């Protein structure tokens, strides 16, 4: 059983105004096959948590640790994290000029596995995943995210998720800006990845809508850089009714 453990994580960034504390003691443990929804208001630090797991250099870890099956993730390079089985679907996926979707996927797969995937099986797998995600074949030869619509970028993230088969994935607001049809297609992709590989998931979202399609085992309410409350799926329903106001009224004990 794989497990990703985040322990008492404190993270800051350097801004023009000086050091800004963002994460203030995050504790969260995800077992293989579990889906954890992290919900919270804008600016509460959700993306910071995602970037810190992925190893973005801008985010400075003050203290705490992230363990993947007991191994310290924080000392790993971004590449090592991917090879260890971590994946981040970004809130704002970046364009990669000059690199086609197919080349990107094959390069990433090769880097993660340590050898190139056998060409025929690989091409078939890519085609199938693209068809499942209702991505037109022409996307394969287009540059990554260049001129993609918001929804197309999100599908492309899930395409990577399906093909790279990580142990744990962080999806940062993959649902934002998607219409209902795209939301269903993306959710089906995530559920397929989970069924096929036993993926553990940290699903960051602002809205409860996606949780109708991807059913969480646990829901965490994220406020002011830490988890203010946790529960089961019923907590998401309560948030839908009550919003975050109740949590925002809490004193900010940094």
Q: Which of 11, 45, 144, 174 binds ligand ADP (CB under 6 A)?
A: 45
Closest CB to ligand ADP among residues 159, 221: 221
Contact 1, 203 (CB under 8 A): no
* CA–CA separation, 139 and 189 (whole Å): 17
Nearest approach, Cβ of 172 to ligand ADP (angstroms)?
Answer: 7
The one of Mg ion, ligand ADP, none whose footprint includes residue 93, by CB under 5 to 8 A per kind, is: none
Beta strand residue intervals within the chain, DSSP E: 3-15, 18-31, 35-39, 60-68, 71-72, 86-89, 96-100, 143-144, 168-172, 200-205, 218-223, 226-231
Site string for Mg ion, 23-42 (x = CB under 5 A): -xx-----------------
Closest CB to Mg ion among residues 152, 172: 172
* CA–CA separation, 54 and 50 (whole Å): 6
The answer to the question of residue 44 lying near ligand ADP (CB under 6 A) is yes
Q: Which of 3, 13, 61, 96 binds ligand ADP (CB under 6 A)?
A: 13
The answer to the question of residue 47 lying near Mg ion (CB under 5 A) is yes
Burial 109-137 (b: 16+ CB within 10 A, else e): beebeeeebeeeebeeebeebbebbebee
The one of ligand ADP, Mg ion, none whose footprint includes residue 45, by CB under 5 to 8 A per kind, is: ligand ADP
Torsional sign, CA 248, 65, 36, 150 = positive
Q: Which of 8, 19, 58, 75 binds ligand ADP (CB under 6 A)?
A: 58
The answer to the question of residue 42 lying near ligand ADP (CB under 6 A) is yes
Residues in contact with ligand ADP by the rule CB under 6 A: 13, 15, 20, 22, 40, 42-48, 58
């Amino acid at each position: 059983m794989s497990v990703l453990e985040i322990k008492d994580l404190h993270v800051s960034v350097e801004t023009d105004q000086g050091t800004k504390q963002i994460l203030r003691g995050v504790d969260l443990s995800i077992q293989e096959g579990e889906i954890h929804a992290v919900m919270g208001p804008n600016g509460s630090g959700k993306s910071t948590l995602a970037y810190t797991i992925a190893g973005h250099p801008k985010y400075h870890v003050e203290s705490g640790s992230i363990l993947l099956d007991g191994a310290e993730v924080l000392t790993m390079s971004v590449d090592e994290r991917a090879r260890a089985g971590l994946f981040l679907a970004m809130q704002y996926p970046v364009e990669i000029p000059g690199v086609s979707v197919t080349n990107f996927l094959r390069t990433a797969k090769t880097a993660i596995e340590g050898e190139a995937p056998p060409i025929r099986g690989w091409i078939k797998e890519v085609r199938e995943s693209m068809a499942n995600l209702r991505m037109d074949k022409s996307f394969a030869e287009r540059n990554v995210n260049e001129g993609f619509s918001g929804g197309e970028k999100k599908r492309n993230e899930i395409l990577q998720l399906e093909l790279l088969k990580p142990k744990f994935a962080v999806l940062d607001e993959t649902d934002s800006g998607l219409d209902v049809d795209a939301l269903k297609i993306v959710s089906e992709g995530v559920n397929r990845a989970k069924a096929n590989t036993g993926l553990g998931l940290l699903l960051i979202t602002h809205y409860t809508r996606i949780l109708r399609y991807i059913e969480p085992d646990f829901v965490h309410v994220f406020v002011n850089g830490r988890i203010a409350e946790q529960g089961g799926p019923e907590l998401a329903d309560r948030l839908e009714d009550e919003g975050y106001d109740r949590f925002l009224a809490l004193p900010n004990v940094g």
